[in-house]
Chain A
Amino acid sequence: GAVVSQHPSWVICKSGTSVKIECRSLDFQATTMFWYRQFPKQSLMLMATSNEGSKATYEQGVEKDKFLINHASLTLSTLTVTSAHPEDSSFYICSARVSGRRTDTQYFGPGTRLTVL
């Protein structure tokens, strides 16, 4: 199956700093990637849809100036959490859309655990 990687797998940072998370599709090209956030014991919440070569589409309530998304190539999307605060501590997960004649689904990365002190 399609493989999606994320880097780093975990990060600890101080309040007020910025953190960049990378999402890569390793063996396929993805014109569309998605970013999710998951708090403990809760389900995944979609943050934004990232399309290669264009601006990301953010879900209601997600600040686009705080969560910067760049999808500069068909295999890489990045999420930058700017001026991170403790309430931004969460599990961030990306996915990449795979579509073909008989399938249209998403493959997920392993997630990045962000802890803001």
Chain B
Amino acid sequence: DAKTTQPNSMESNEEEPVHLPCNHSTISGTDYIHWYRQLPSQGPEYVIHGLTSNVNNRMASLAIAEDRKSSTLILHRATLRDAAVYYCILRDSGAGSYQLTFGKGTKLSVIP
């Protein structure tokens, strides 16, 4: 799977929007962009995924750059429960392995 680069940590104030960046300059045409998050002492939780177009769901929005070399996960109003490690992962839909390779992610702290 192609590599992604994320900041180690970010802070946000409660009830403000959060933009979590992810760089993936070596992304291939068949790579989907997946975001997961992991709260302390829990398994990862699926957040959102996309290929080319921006995506919205009840948890977050995913903005994908036109050249697909970067993307941004947007939490519209951060709450204390959003404090977690956020992982941006590329999964090759053409590889047939269905594996996810986790990097170090971004640790998001939410300040009350």
Does B bind A? yes
In this complex, the interface size class of chain B, counting residues with CB under 8 Å from chain A, is: 20 to 34
Q: Which residues of A contact B97 (CB under 8 A)?
A: 49
A31 to chain B, nearest CB (A): 10
Q: Which residues of A contact B68 (CB under 8 A)?
A: none
Q: From the candidates A32, A93, A97, A103, name the one contacting B44 in the complex (CB within 8 A).
A: A93
Tell me the bound Cα distance from A109 to B38 in angstroms: 11
Tell me the bound Cα distance from A93 to B102 in angstroms: 13
Chain B, interface SS category:
loop
A102 to chain B, nearest CB (A): 10
Is B45 in the interface zone, CB < 8 Å from A? yes
Q: Which residues of B contact A32 (CB under 8 A)?
A: 98
Chain A, interface SS category:
strand
A108/B45 in contact, CB under 8 A: yes
Nearest residue (CB) in A for B49 is A105
B46/A107 in contact, CB under 8 A: yes
Q: List 21 A-B contacts (CB under 8 A).
A: A34-B100, A43-B87, A43-B102, A43-B103, A43-B105, A45-B102, A46-B100, A49-B99, A91-B41, A94-B43, A104-B32, A105-B34, A106-B98, A108-B36, A108-B43, A108-B45, A108-B46, A109-B43, A111-B41, A111-B43, A113-B41
**B: which residues have CB within 8 A of A?**
32, 34, 36, 38, 41-46, 49, 87, 91, 93, 97-105
